[in-house]
Amino acid sequence: MKKLLIPFLAAIVLLPACTVVRPGETAIKQRLGKLTTKTYKGGPVLFNPFIAKVIKMDTRTIEKFNVLPLPTKEGLSVKAEITLLYHIDPSRAQSIYTQFGRNYEEIIVLSNFRATAREISARYSAKELYATERLKIEKAIFDELSMHIEVHGFVVDAVLLKDIDLPDQMMKAIENKVMAEQAALQMEFVIEKQKKEAERMIIEATAVKQAQDIINSSLTEKQLQYNQIEALRSLTNSPNAKIIITSPNVGNVLINTDGNP
C-alpha cells in the first residue's frame, strides 16, 4: 500500500495547473519565491501550484476618481473632483511587482498623484482653479506626475479636473468679479466705438467744408447774377400766379396774374 501511495503523491505534486492570461493582462511566474524572467502576455500558462504561482497584472487604462481638498494661492482650501487615467508598461511589470508588490497603485501612483495635485493647485488662486486656468492646471499636474512615476513603469494617459466646489460666499465674489470685468470690457468697447464715430463725423465735416470752400471760391458776382436770372426765367414759365421782386441789378418787378410769361 505504501508503495502505491508514494507514486500517487508524487504525481499530484508534479501535476501542473493552468491559468489563462486574458487580453489587457500580463503575468509573471513566481517559483519557490523567485520570479522567472519570462513575462506572459496572453494565453494559457502552466505552473505547479505547490511550488509556483502566476501573478496577473492589469495593463489596460485604469480610471481613478478622486475627491481631494486642494490648497489655493490665497491659503484657502477647496474641494476638487479629479480623474486620473493611467496604465502600466507591460514590459516593466516584473520590476513594478518587485519594487511595490500588488498594492503598487496606492504606494506609487495615487500617493504621487495626490501630492502633485496639491503642489500644483497651491500655485493658483481660487478664481483660476474655478474658472480660467483649468487646462493649464490639468497639464501641469499631468507633466509633473508623469515625471515622478514614468521612471517606475507607469504611463499617465490623462488628468481631468472635473469640478471645483467653492464656498458659496467665495463663488459669489468670483462671479461678481467676473461680471465686473465683463462690464469693464463692454464699456471699453462702447468708448472705442464712440471715438470711431467722432472721428468719422470730423472727417465728414472736414470734407463738407472743403467742398463748400471750393464752390465758394468758384462763384463770381457775374456767375451769381446769371444763376439768379436763370432761376427767374424758370419761375416765369410756371403756370401759377406769382409776384417776383428782384434786385435793381437783375431787372424790374415782374407781375404775372394770368399764368402767362
Nearest to 109 by CA among 120, 124, 99, 122: 99
Residue 248 banded pLDDT, cuts 50, 70, 90: low
Pairwise CA distance, residues 181 & 125, whole Å? 17
- Rg of the Cα trace of the chain? 46
**Measured distance CA(70)–CA(67) in Å, rounded:** 9
* Helices and strands counted in the chain (H then E): 8, 10
pLDDT above 50 for 260: no
The phi-psi region of residue 79 (left if phi > 0; otherwise alpha if psi is between -120 and 50; otherwise beta) is beta
Q: Over pLDDT 70: what percentage of the chain?
A: 72
SS3 content of the chain, % helix, strand, coil (to 5): 55, 25, 20
Mean confidence (pLDDT) of the chain: 77
pLDDT in the model for residue 159: 93
**pLDDT at 206 exceeding the cut of 50:** yes
Grid cell locating 125: 488662486
Question: Would you state the pLDDT for residue 110?
Answer: 93
Contact between residue 72 and residue 122 where contact means Cβ atoms under 8 Å apart: yes
Name beta bridge partners: 43.
21
- In this prediction, residue 102 carries a pLDDT of 85
pLDDT band of 249, cuts 50, 70, 90: low
More confident residue, 52 or 144: 144
Residue 84: closest CA among 141, 25, 147, 152: 141
Q: What does the alpha-carbon distance between residue 90 and residue 60 come to, in Å, rounded to a whole number? A: 10
Q: Alpha helices of 72-220 — where are they, by DSSP H?
A: 93-100, 104, 111-121, 126-127, 134-149, 168-218
Task: Summarize the confidence of residues 85-99 as an average pLDDT.
Answer: 88
Average pLDDT value for residue range 179-189: 82
Is the pLDDT at 261 greater than 60, yes or no?
no
Beta bridge partners of 159: 84
Pick the residue with more confidence: 232 or 142? Answer: 142
Phi-psi domain of 170 (left: phi exceeds 0; alpha: psi -120 through 50; beta: other): alpha
**How do residues 162-178 score in pLDDT, each as one tens digit?**
888 776 766 677 677 77
β-pairing verdict for 43-47 and 17-21: antiparallel
Q: Which three cell numbers stand for residue 238?
A: 410756371
- DSSP-derived pairing of the beta strands 52-58 and 43-47: unpaired
Kindly tell me if the per-residue pLDDT of 13 is higher than 60. Answer: no
Model confidence at 8: pLDDT above 70 = no
pLDDT grade for 250, boundaries at 50, 70 and 90: very low
| 0.75 surpassed by pTM | no
The C-alpha cell that represents 241 in the structure block: 400766379
Determine the 3-state secondary structure of 257 from DSSP.
coil
54, β-bridge pairs? 29
pLDDT at 254: 46
